Structures are given as structure tokens and as C-alpha cells.
Amino acid sequence: MAGKGKLVTQTVKLGIKYGPQIWVASQALREPAKEAANKAISSERARRQAMAHARSLADGSILKVYKGDAAHWVVFSGDEPVAVHPATDMPLSMLVERSDLTKRIRPQDKVKATERAKDAAAAALRRGKPNQIN
């Protein structure tokens, strides 16, 4: 094919010119990306622990609440908060005082991560913010 040599030459020239800048940018962005991924993984781990705890209760359910920028999952037995995952020093009553208790998730709901993402996207559209989720 004609033009392959020219394409390779142009790619090499651009790589030499912009390669170091791309390398520096990738190194600078690596840590924030790792932190974001670890935060998401720890939140999912805490959700699973809370869901397992809720399954062991008579009328168990969980609710996601935030303390600062960290997500916590409060476990309920009926309408009474019982525990929080991951553990925090803030009292349970303060964690749930302004929360919407109708958004609790019950173990029998079997909500998958994809369904939660679709619900969050639909809620963002209803609020008029199509590019933002929560």
C-alpha cells in the first residue's frame, strides 16, 4: 500500500516531538486514577459487607450515605440503623438524619451495578443534568 512509509515516518516524528510530554502527563495522571479506582473498589467492598449483614437481619436493608467525600453503607433492621460499613466514628443517628430512607436497598431486590448506573443516569436526566451522575 502506498503511503505506509509516509505514515510511519510521520508517526515517528510525532512520537519524538510529543512522546516526552505524553510520558510526563501519564505519570502525573496515574496516581489520581489509582486513588479513584481504589475508592470505588473499597465502596463496593463495603456495600457487599453491608448487604451480607442486612441479609442476616429480620427486615434488613442498606442505605448509602456520605461523610465528607467518603461513601458509607448504613445497615437497617426495620427502621432502626444498626451498623455502618466501613466503620466510622460518627454516630448512626447523625449519619442518617438528613437521608431519604425510601432509597434503602433490600437484599431481595437483587440490584446489579448496571441497573444502579442506569437508575443514576435516569435520575440525572430528570434533574436536567444529562452529563452528571450524582
pLDDT (tens place) for every residue of the chain, 134 residues total: 567 888 889 988 988 888 888 888 888 888 888 998 998 899 889 999 999 999 998 889 999 998 888 889 999 998 899 999 998 888 888 888 888 888 888 887 766 777 778 878 888 888 776 555 54
Q: Look-up: residue for cell 442506569?
A: 118
pTM: 0.62
Give me 112's grid cell. Answer: 446489579
Largest CA distance in the chain: 73
User: What is the spatial distance between Cα 52 and Cα 4, in angstroms, rounded to a whole number?
Assistant: 58
Domain residue spans of the chain: 9-126
Q: What is the pLDDT of residues 51-73, one digit of tens each?
A: 999 999 888 999 999 888 888 99
Give the containing element (helix H, strand E) for 73: strand 70-77
